[in-house]
Amino acid sequence: MKAIVATDYGGPEVLQLKEIEKPTPKDNEILIKVHATTVTMGDFRMRSFTVPPLFWLPARITLGFTKPKQPIYGMELAGEVESVGKDVTRFKVGDQVFASTLTENFGTYAEYKCLPEQAMVAIKPSNMTYEEAAAVPIGATTALRLLRKGNIQHGQKILIYGASGSVGTYAIQLARHFGAEVTGVCSTAHLDIVKSLGADHVIDYTKEDLSSREERYDIVFDTVGKLPKSISSKILAPNATFVTMARMDSKESMKNLIFIRELIETGEIKVVIDRCYPLEDMVEAHRYVDAGHKQGNVVITVNKRMSSKRSSQPDIDRPGIYQIRIKGHLSRQRMDWFEGLIITLEDNGDTLLTGTVIDQAALHVILKKVRDLGVPLLSLNSVEPGPQHTSDHK
């Protein structure tokens, strides 16, 4: 099988595409054909060995002194169960699942991954593609854990620092679900997405000094671990709570993952996808994440058979109608990039691209154009199978 292997610690160039042996599930394991994974800041830190000096030795012991002990990175996945061990009862062949591998030796930068059936793995949301579902298990559950650690309550005021990242975009939506008044902090380029996710107020940290604000908050949630204590202490209300990514363990909860799935299936939470890369472009994907400006999630398509939202929908090997939703309205000039597709400029500010895709290569061409635009890919859905045809854009 194909896998991305880290040959050393360092920049993105240490990641190499290699052929390795396909794993075989043990009696209590399932073998998952990985359709999509992500590039997270955790992957960046492992690859580059970017850790605080205090944690240098423990991290070296855990990750490897001279080179990575676990050279295949990747902390979350979405895919299809291909086979099961004889003792497995929770899953069957063909189940569409999503999972975190944070405590299972990572390993999602590969075409296949074995997981114990009692691992952090569950049936994926029925209304999500594999690409969307892959971006849920780490960011969404992390946001939920820290909000609960802060004992979030209805009517409280919460400030979310780093509101446009993976954890931040989920934190906004979850805080709204719990009935809080949400203030999101981000840079100028990400103000629109933070507003669209439900933030009541937004602060552009490039233009406003947080420490000078008179507003006080019941919870300050630092999703990136970079908010100085000198600032957070000034904006906390009396008896308020400060929670941060800089101080959390790796303990995970299946109940949290199921809770998130239920919110997704009722439409309360959506995934923000910044860019989507094929497995072969992993180095480029890491370079983008390294820059530190991603919006939401960066997704990697592993096995190139694209998923539908529901298992009954068509295989990409057959012609079918696809809808691609991107953030923002396309200009007339950029519309010409997608000749042959129906282009709908929606009232909420998104653009919907609809048309027949005859094979994986054709879909890859369209997705590359979306990536070249530098705008967030919000969703990719198979609508229905159909005869080969095209329509001019509107």
Of residues 249 and 85, which shows the higher confidence score? Answer: 85
Could you confirm whether domain 2-136+271-300 is CATH 2.40.10.340? no
Of 65 and 278, the one with more pLDDT: 278
Query: Where, residue-wise, is CATH 3.40.50.720 in the chain?
Result: 139-244
Q: List alpha helices for 351-393, DSSP H.
A: 360-373
Residue 392's pLDDT is 37
Q: Whole-number mean pLDDT of the chain?
A: 87
For the record, the structure tokens of 48 come out as 């580059």
Distance CA 225, CA 292 (A): 13
Residue 287 is predicted with a pLDDT of: 94
pLDDT at 250: 65
Any idea what DSSP says for residue 295?
Answer: -
Query: What pLDDT score does 55 carry?
Result: 67
Q: Out of 23-27, 91-95, 304-308, which region has the weakest mean confidence (pLDDT)?
A: 304-308
3-state helix, strand, coil in the chain (%, to 5): 30, 30, 40
CA angle (350, 375, 361) in 5-degree steps = 100
Q: Do you know the residue count of the chain?
A: 394
In what helix (H) or strand (E) does residue 300 lie, and over which residues does it extend?
strand 297-301
Give the CA diameter of the chain. Answer: 64
Q: Can you give the pLDDT at residue 362?
A: 78
At 80, is the secondary structure helix, strand, or coil?
strand
Per-residue model confidence (pLDDT) at position 249: 66
Cβ(135)–Cβ(76) under 8 Å? yes
Encode pLDDT of 225-235 as tens digits: 889 989 999 99
Domain 317-385 sits in CATH at 3.30.70.1150
Q: Tell the residue number behind the tokens 């906390």, with chain if given.
A: 236
Whether 385 has a pLDDT exceeding 60, the answer reads no
By the 8 A CB rule, do 296 and 193 touch? yes
Q: What is the pTM of this model?
A: 0.78
Q: What is the mean pLDDT of residues 62-73?
A: 84
Range in 109-113, 173-177, 199-203, 343-347 the model is least confident about: 343-347
CATH code given to domain 139-244: 3.40.50.720
* Residue ranges matching CATH 3.30.70.1150 in the chain: 317-385
What is the per-residue pLDDT across 322-359, written as a single tens digit (0 to 9) for each? 888 888 888 777 787 888 888 888 878 888 888 877 76
DSSP letter (8 states) at residue 23: P
What residue type is assigned to position 386 of the chain? G
Q: Where in the chain is the domain with CATH 3.90.180.10?
A: 2-136+271-300
